């Protein structure tokens, strides 16, 4: 019996030259899309944090210079 879920022997139409089934390729595609999404979100959040930090520092420096 195969370690994979589903049928023990996938049809020849569902297997590519490496032996990966259509389900295997679908899982890999989904995981790659999730990785891309996580990377994009991380990049966006880092950019927002850097932008907020820059704005905060600019206000602090402007306030400090106007007091002096």
How far apart CA 11 and CA 67 sit, in angstroms, is: 77
Say what the pTM is: 0.54
Q: Per residue in 29-67, pLDDT tens?
A: 999 999 999 999 999 989 888 888 888 888 887 777 776
Question: What does the DSSP assignment read for 16-44?
Answer: -TTS-BHHHHHHHHHHHHHHHHHHHHHHH
SS3 (DSSP) at 26: helix
Which pLDDT belongs to residue 13?
64
Q: Per residue in 15-34, pLDDT tens?
A: 767 777 888 889 999 999 99
């Amino acid at each position: 019996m195969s370690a994979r879920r589903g049928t023990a022997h996938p049809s020849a139409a569902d297997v590519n030259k490496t032996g990966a089934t259509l389900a295997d390729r679908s899982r890999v595609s989904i995981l790659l899309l999730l990785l891309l999404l996580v990377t994009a979100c991380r990049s966006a959040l880092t950019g927002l944090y850097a932008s907020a930090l820059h704005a905060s520092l600019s206000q602090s420096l402007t306030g400090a210079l106007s007091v002096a």
